[in-house]
Homo-oligomer: A and B are copies of this chain.
Amino acid sequence: MLVSALLTSVLINSGLCVLLWALYSSLRKRPDNYRVYAPRLLAECNSRAIDTFRLERLLSTPSWVARAWQTSEEELLSSAGLDAVVFRRLITFSLRVITVAGVIGVFILLPVNFSGDQLHDVDFANLTSNSLDIFTISNVKDGSNRLWVHFGAVYVVTIFTCFLLYNEFKYVSSKRISYFLTSKPQPGQFTILVRSVPVSRCGSVSDSVERFFREYHPNTYLSHVVIRRTSKVRHLVNDGKRMYRRLIDLRKERCAVKSQHGGLCGLFRRQSDIVNDYERKLEELEENVRLGQSEASLAGEEVRAAFVSFKTRYGATIAIRMQQVDDPTHWVTEAAPEPHDVYWPFFSESFIRRWVSQLVVLVAYISITLLFLIPVVIVQGLTNLSQLQAWLPPLKDFLKEPFVHQVITGYLPSLILLFFLWLIPHIMKFLSSAQGYISHSEIIRSACNKFLWFTIWNVYFGNVLSGSVFNQIYTFLEPANVPSRLAVAVPAQFINVYSPKYDTAGKFWPIVHNSMIFSLLLMHAIAVGIFTLKKISLASSLLFPLPIVTLIFNSYCRKRFLPNFNAYSAETLIEKDRKDLNNASTAEFFNKLSSAYQDPALLPVRYSAAPDEETAPLLSSTETEGDGIS
């Protein structure tokens, strides 16, 4: 690459950046776009009678970037939850690392490289036509003492990054605890999920759960909800949802016909008939749903799993931590997600089935990650016309046409790659849900982790195997995307746009930490390789302790901070429980707790009510279900 090419690229990108920023800043001012750019503010203004003045004040100034960053941590915490706070810290953390590495790179390493003469002397008269290589370490003479500057840079960047990592891990970990201590009572804090409930031949799952917890947790057990198979009802509810949407569209069409052609023409009558027909069908469906629901909740097949609620958080945590019976494949306990975070259509209730599906998912994941090279190789074939002609001899003449040639070698490869890359996150999400995770947040977290290692494998290692075509992938797959994937629930516009569906309280931080440690180790490996190539083997040897110390550092961080990402301590749980004792609202909370884990497919539905209010929640019962992967 030439210096001029780099400069051009920088110019174009900066121009695009300014343009998009200007467009956004002006578009968001228009009241028509409030619904797009500030739906949450709109919702908070509570009705269609918007306090326009306030909104305009909030949205119109182009200094929104500064304001987005000036939001205090407390403000962010209260409006968007701890995930948003942690996500913003992730961004500032990345900026800090990039700044330090950038300053060292530009002001120290670049001059060192530039002043080398391994490649050739620099043509100062025509600087832009020089190759970019003169700015890289390749230009430093083999065995030169200047390479020690690079050596120092590796140490400095590692130490600085580890220092930041330690502080951030410590901060997020302590923040999680104080967030928990100040939180209102949440059903998930008092509830566990029990799977593989053994059932006697004549008894029900519910009897079995009741008996067991009354026997072994008599002082803390509160209530339980057995999970039932509701897939039939769920399908009916979804059908209704689709039908209701269609009905609303039809009503709109009818209104349009009426206003254009008056109420008497044949078109209007025909439309009215269709609408009436749909309304009748929907009512029938509603009746079917109701029947199905009562059938499922009374006589539906019980799954051998239940949500069990306790009187104290400490009691619930003990039930999670202890092995319940001698056979560890029975009465398997885990923390329950919050009710709206439950991924209902899950249940592989038996230990063996879950274990087998975990194995299958592991094999599938490894296969997909490795086999992704196949489409890549095919795409590489496409960029090579003569290869393509050899594959498809009948199309030889057709392929020679200049336009076809350009499309196939220039456009098609990217399109195919994009298609495969678009597939991957969906596949990862599907794998994670098949693995037996029971909450949306865990499924997303696990899918992000899978996607991260998929990316690392294919970009860093696949690159070595398959070469140039990966430059194309790199633009879509770059690691910088990972935080945005991670932040599916907490995108940059935390405050105005999204209302977070769940809050993991920064539980994704360990993924960030692990991938940073991995990057450091990769840097060390590359540095050792380069110093060896550059014939300064003392530097290679002196670098060896660095990855080992980094791994020890990582092991310490995991021992010190990771436990707080899985569970809270006895001290914290007991303190929190004791505070509740003096709280008047606790009794009310416990009343609601027993019905908190109700399958949304079994909640009452009414499609026909308020038929023209487009903005009303469509179907409360499918709110959660709709996000799932079926």
A322 sits at the interface (CB 8 A): yes
Across the interface, A318 reaches (CB within 8 A) one of B318, B568, B572, namely B318
Give the distance in Å from the alpha carbon of A406 to the alpha carbon of B503 in the complex.
Answer: 79
A570 sits at the interface (CB 8 A): yes
Give the distance in Å from the alpha carbon of A318 to the alpha carbon of B326 in the complex.
Answer: 16
Across the interface, A326 reaches (CB within 8 A) one of B321, B325, B559, B572, namely B572
A317 sits at the interface (CB 8 A): yes
Q: Nearest CB to that of A363 among chain B residues? A: B548
Contact A328 B563 (CB under 8 A): yes
Contact A324 B216 (CB under 8 A): no
A157 sits at the interface (CB 8 A): no
Give the distance in Å from the alpha carbon of A443 to the alpha carbon of B572 in the complex.
Answer: 34
Q: How far is the CB of A181 from chain B (nearest CB, A)?
A: 10
A216 in contact with B571 given A355-B559, A552-B359 (CB within 8 Å) = yes
Contact B328 A564 (CB under 8 A): yes
Report chain B residues within 8 Å CB of A570: 216, 322-325
A162 sits at the interface (CB 8 A): no
Across the interface, A328 reaches (CB within 8 A) one of B323, B325, B560, namely B560
Residues of A in contact, count (CB < 8 Å) = 29
Residue among A174, A177, A327 having the largest count of chain B Cβ atoms under 10 Å: A327
A569 sits at the interface (CB 8 A): yes
A50 sits at the interface (CB 8 A): no
A569 in contact with B323 given A216-B574, A318-B318, A574-B216 (CB within 8 Å) = yes
A556 sits at the interface (CB 8 A): yes
Q: How far is the CB of A198 from chain B (nearest CB, A)?
A: 12
Q: Nearest CB to that of A322 among chain B residues? A: B570
A563 in contact with B355 given A318-B318, A570-B216 (CB within 8 Å) = no
Report chain B residues within 8 Å CB of A328: 559-560, 563-564, 569
Contact B571 A326 (CB under 8 A): yes
Per-residue CB contact flags for chain A residues 315-345 toward chain B (1 = under 8 Å, else 0) read: 0011001111111110000000000000000
Give the distance in Å from the alpha carbon of A556 to the alpha carbon of B359 in the complex.
Answer: 11
Q: Nearest CB to that of A567 among chain B residues? A: B323
Report chain B residues within 8 Å CB of A177: 326
Contact A318 B323 (CB under 8 A): no
Give the distance in Å from the alpha carbon of A520 to the alpha carbon of B216 in the complex.
Answer: 41
Give the distance in Å from the alpha carbon of A563 to the alpha carbon of B325 in the complex.
Answer: 11
Q: How far is the CB of A547 from chain B (nearest CB, A)?
A: 15
Q: Nearest CB to that of A314 among chain B residues? A: B322
Contact B329 A571 (CB under 8 A): no
Report chain B residues within 8 Å CB of A552: 359
A324 in contact with B571 given A318-B318, A359-B552, A552-B359 (CB within 8 Å) = yes
Give the distance in Å from the alpha carbon of A177 to the alpha carbon of B323 in the complex.
Answer: 13
Give the distance in Å from the alpha carbon of A572 to the alpha carbon of B322 in the complex.
Answer: 11
Q: Nearest CB to that of A173 among chain B residues? A: B326
Q: Nearest CB to that of A569 among chain B residues? A: B323
Contact B317 A571 (CB under 8 A): no
Q: How far is the CB of A629 from chain B (nearest CB, A)?
A: 27
Q: Nearest CB to that of A328 among chain B residues? A: B563
Report chain B residues within 8 Å CB of A559: 328-329, 355
Across the interface, A322 reaches (CB within 8 A) one of B174, B321, B325, namely B321
A323 in contact with B355 given A216-B571, A571-B216, A574-B216 (CB within 8 Å) = no
Contact B556 A355 (CB under 8 A): yes
Contact B564 A326 (CB under 8 A): yes
Residue among A324, A556, A569, A574 having the largest count of chain B Cβ atoms under 10 Å: A569
Report chain B residues within 8 Å CB of A324: 569-571
Give the distance in Å from the alpha carbon of A625 to the alpha carbon of B193 in the complex.
Answer: 48
Give the distance in Å from the alpha carbon of A623 to the alpha carbon of B44 in the complex.
Answer: 76
Q: How far is the CB of A435 from chain B (nearest CB, A)?
A: 15
Contact B563 A323 (CB under 8 A): yes
Give the distance in Å from the alpha carbon of A355 to the alpha carbon of B555 in the complex.
Answer: 10
Per-residue CB contact flags for chain A residues 336-366 toward chain B (1 = under 8 Å, else 0) read: 0000000000000000000100010000000
Q: Nearest CB to that of A573 among chain B residues? A: B322
Q: Nearest CB to that of A323 among chain B residues? A: B569
Residue among A321, A327, A560, A570 having the largest count of chain B Cβ atoms under 10 Å: A570
Q: Nearest CB to that of A178 among chain B residues? A: B326
Give the distance in Å from the alpha carbon of A572 to the alpha carbon of B323 in the complex.
Answer: 10
Report chain B residues within 8 Å CB of A174: 326
Across the interface, A321 reaches (CB within 8 A) one of B321, B329, B556, B568, namely B321
Name 9 interchain pairs, CB-CB below 8 A, sorted by A: A216-B570, A317-B322, A318-B322, A324-B570, A328-B564, A329-B559, A355-B556, A355-B559, A359-B552
Besides A322-B569, A326-B568, 7 more A-B contacts (Cβ < 8 Å) are: A216-B574, A323-B567, A323-B568, A325-B570, A326-B572, A355-B556, A355-B559
Sort A-B residue pairs by CB-CB distance and give the 5 closest, nearest first.
A328-B563, A322-B570, A321-B321, A323-B569, A325-B571
